[in-house]
Amino acid sequence: MAMSLASDRAALNTNLLIVDAEANARAQLVESLQQKGYRVQEAASGAEALTALQQTPIDLMVLEMALPKLPGVEVMRRARQMHRNLLIMVLTAHASVESAIAAVKVGVVDYMLKPCHPDDIALTIERALDERAQRLRQQHLLNMVGEAIDALREPTPAPEPLPTTTATVPEVLQDSLRVGALVLDCQRRLLTVKMNPPRTVELTEGEVSILVALMGKPNQVFTYKQLAKSALGYENMDKWTVESVIRSTVFRLRHKIEDGPDAPRVICTVRGRGYYFSPI
């Protein structure tokens, strides 16, 4: 089945990585996808795959589970740690319950069994890329709405350096961080707000990472890019994706921490720059 004209144009800007120890199967799939306009790299082992992911921005990886030395399950896990937004598709002749469970946990776009016609593989890839593009468009619209809302609020100036007090200096405890009325338990991913009444909220790993960065340097403005890199380890993401990830994380944090999320006092916005943590 032929791909659509729009998909043909999208394929020209898409990098795929085919990971398979079987040279013939790998070569056939690479050739088929290249004929459809994709830029395709190949790897014969898990180590080669991880090296390729470090050196080139890959949009989607097609992964065989049976690989020499480093098994596919481990490649999948490490690839997800390296690139949170990488699309991963399993194409294997060696399916197992373990790899299927791991694939679900990692969030693969599909788990396909060999033999599989190249056109079916291409359609699955096309669908996964289309769905991602749609999510990015929706997130871009949300970002535009967020920027419009920020523009309607009173401008928040960058904070002046505060005098050194017990309320503004982070206190590092065992597996936790305390600043003012907030105590962050990094190990258990719990944040305690010691206000009246006190409350404890559960955080995600990403929310903890953002808070550690902000609480570690109270009243210092962090840009979206700085938070994405220092807190989440994202280095090669485009501006829209960076802002999308950070905005959504801060949005969730404010609803968990702030008394009034629409008028935040703890995680404050500096329009056009980023966010800073204001001790309470």
What average pLDDT does the chain have? 81
Predicted pLDDT at 16 = 95
Which of the listed ranges 51-65, 191-205, 261-275 does the model predict with the highest average pLDDT? 51-65
Query: Would the pLDDT of 65 be above 90?
Result: yes
Q: Which of 17, 148, 150 is nearest to 89 (CA)?
A: 17
Domain 5-135: assigned CATH number: 3.40.50.2300
Predicted pLDDT at 32 = 93
Overall average pLDDT of the 42-63 stretch: 92
Domain ranges of the chain: 5-135, 157-277
Query: Would the pLDDT of 3 be above 60?
Result: no
Q: What distances in angstroms separate CA 181 from CA 165, 197, 277, one per listed residue?
A: 13, 12, 12
Overall average pLDDT of the 253-278 stretch: 83
Query: Would the pLDDT of 20 be above 90?
Result: yes
Name the amino acid, one letter, at 212: V
Question: What angle do helix axes 97-106 and 72-82 make, rounded to 10 degrees?
Answer: 10
DSSP string, 169-237: S-EEETTEEEETTEEEETTTTEEEE-SSS-EEEE--HHHHHHHHHHHHSTT--EEHHHHHHHTT---S-
Overall average pLDDT of the 248-259 stretch: 85
Query: Would the pLDDT of 97 be above 50?
Result: yes
% pLDDT > 70, the chain: 81
58 neighbors 52 (Cβ within 8 angstroms):
yes
Query: Would the pLDDT of 272 be above 80?
Result: no
Overall average pLDDT of the 214-220 stretch: 90
Q: Which of 120, 137, 155 is nearest to 240 (CA)?
A: 137
Q: What are the pLDDT digits (tens) for 218-252?
A: 889 999 888 888 777 776 666 777 777 788 888 88
Predicted pLDDT at 151 = 55
The CATH fold assigned to 157-277 is Arc Repressor Mutant, subunit A (1.10.10)
Query: Would the pLDDT of 77 be above 80?
Result: yes
Nearest 5°: phi and psi at 26? Answer: -65, -45
